[in-house]
Amino acid sequence: MQKFLIVIEKAVNNHSAYSPDLPGCIAAAQTIEEVEKKIYKAIEMHIEEMKEDNISIPSSTAITEFKPLIQGILQET
């Protein structure tokens, strides 16, 4: 089973989600739970449409990792 990175962001009035490996595949909802359901469905539909159009499904190339910032940037003054 192929896996894709999903990015969920908090906006002022809702949450949005997208997958960097699937341009144009997005979702938005009021809660994290809702946006997760919507992005999974959006990815499913996106891939089905790609298959119907004989477009190859991309391999996941997204990498996620938290990196420390330069020492001192976030230190309290």
16-67 pLDDT per residue, tens: 999 999 999 999 999 999 999 999 999 999 999 999 999 999 988 878 877 7
pLDDT at 71: 60
The model's pTM is 0.78
- Rounded-to-integer distance, Cα 11 and Cα 31, Å: 11
Q: Where are the domains of the chain?
A: 7-52
For residue 77, CA distances in Å to 20, 70, 74 come to 36, 15, 9
pLDDT at 76 over 80: no
pLDDT at 61: 85
Mean pLDDT computed over 63-75: 68
Q: What is the fold, at CATH topology level, of the domain defined by 7-52?
A: Double Stranded RNA Binding Domain (3.30.160)
